Amino acid sequence: MIMSIGEKIKDLRKSRNMTQEDLAEFLNVSISAVSQWEIGKTMPDITFIPLICNVFGVSSDELLDINVNSNKSEIQNIRTEASKYYSRGFVSEGKELLECGLNKFPNSYELMLDYMHVLELERRKSPPEEYARKIDAEIIRLGEKIVSECKEFDTRASAIQNLCIVYSDIGKEDRAVELAYKMPRSILSRESLLELIYKGDKLRELSINNLLYTNIQNIANRIKCNYRMDSGDWLYSSKEMTLLRKKQIDFIKLIFEAEDYGFYNETLCDSYKKLAFDCAESKDIEKTLCYIENAAKHAINFVEYIDCGELKYSSILFKGKIEKSSVHLDHKFNNVYHLLEYFKDAHFDFIRNNEKFIEIENQLQNYAGEWKV
């Protein structure tokens, strides 16, 4: 049976005929602090672990009652199970599993990082201001703990990413910049360095799966990004944004000539539905219906891509690439459901009774619902 750290401290203290007062004196803390550790009301700060180990003459693994391999496996199982939920929009369910995991493994940086991600998902839903501030504070607490204590680079890097987002959003840009400068320049990234080392099949795989695919994703996402300038004005007008959405669609179609869009079905759906909205404003029935039909097609294709679990590309740039559909989804209802909700907007009332529009809506109804866990 695995003891809690408080139970372990109590057991070690009694085995050495020490009182709570003795231990408190050795550690320079109050007797109340020791008492609260032992009854499980609070836990010693991680900085006390080496001191406690020294007092009792035990390793940190023994103090924490750690079976390292067993615990790594259990932690990974918790992370995997939680991800099944929050990656499909069931955020509260995933959060609950991670909270249980952190209660058992309070010093697991991996669980802390996953919990930060779940909090970020809650944050995106624009909760009430007071709760949003609590979310921000908890993300910052966990992230700063990981940055200051964790030695594993990828975990630290992911924590820095989350912290940069939160600090920027709450107006603490200086701290966000300070953290960003802890990361290497893009030219020093793992993938860029491996490109200098690998040859043959390894280089081709690296090029397809990482460098090329990631860069295309970055370009596709940025083509239709608008930016608010220092003056307060947006860089692009609404007409220019319409043109940029069309350019994004053309770019993706150029890259994926075999129409194996996979993840990009969602991107195409989003651009087509916004183009439909633009055309609906001018009451252009033919173009509006054309864009609606394309948005529906890609929404359905995205659901099928997620459900199938895997996609093998045949487009020439990614020939032979096999992609697991491990996409993290923000909402538990799929994008077909959200597309139907989008079409309820009054802008589309002028075609509400159109035969083609009704046909598309009926087709979407067959796919709308919750994501499969």
The string of pLDDT tens digits covering residues 34-92 is 999 888 888 888 888 888 888 888 777 777 766 656 788 899 999 999 999 999 889 99
**pLDDT for position 303:** 93
Second CATH level (architecture) for the domain 68-183: Alpha Horseshoe (1.25)
Phi-psi region at 2: left, alpha or beta (left = phi > 0; alpha = psi -120 to 50): beta
Displacement of CA 97 from its chain's centroid (Å) = 16
Q: What is the 3-state secondary structure (H, E, C) of 47-98?
A: HHHHHHHHHHCCCHHHHCCCCHHHHHHHHHHHHHHHHHHHCECCHHHHHHHH
DSSP code at position 334: -
Per-residue pLDDT of the chain (373 residues; tens, 9 = 90+): 456 788 888 988 898 888 999 999 988 899 999 999 888 888 888 888 888 888 888 777 777 766 656 788 899 999 999 999 999 889 999 999 999 999 988 889 999 999 999 999 999 888 899 999 999 999 999 999 999 988 889 999 999 999 999 999 999 999 999 999 999 998 888 888 998 999 998 998 888 877 788 888 889 999 989 998 999 999 999 999 999 999 999 999 999 999 999 999 999 999 999 999 999 999 999 999 999 999 999 999 999 999 887 889 999 998 888 888 777 787 889 999 999 999 999 999 999 999 999 999 999 999 999 998 8
CA angle, 341 then 260 then 276, to 5°: 30
Which residues fall within 8 angstroms of residue 303, CB to CB, at 6 or more apart? 334, 335, 336, 367
The string of pLDDT tens digits covering residues 193-224 is 998 999 998 998 888 877 788 888 889 999 98
Task: Give 5-63's CATH code, choosing from 3.40.50.1370, 1.10.260.40, 3.30.70.100, 1.10.3210.10.
Answer: 1.10.260.40
**pLDDT for position 169:** 93
Q: How many CB atoms lie within 10 A of CB 156?
A: 20
277-284: long-range pairs with CB below 8 Å, 24+:
277/345, 277/347, 278/238, 278/242, 280/347, 280/348, 280/350, 280/351, 281/347, 283/350
CATH 1.10.260.40 residue ranges for the chain: 5-63
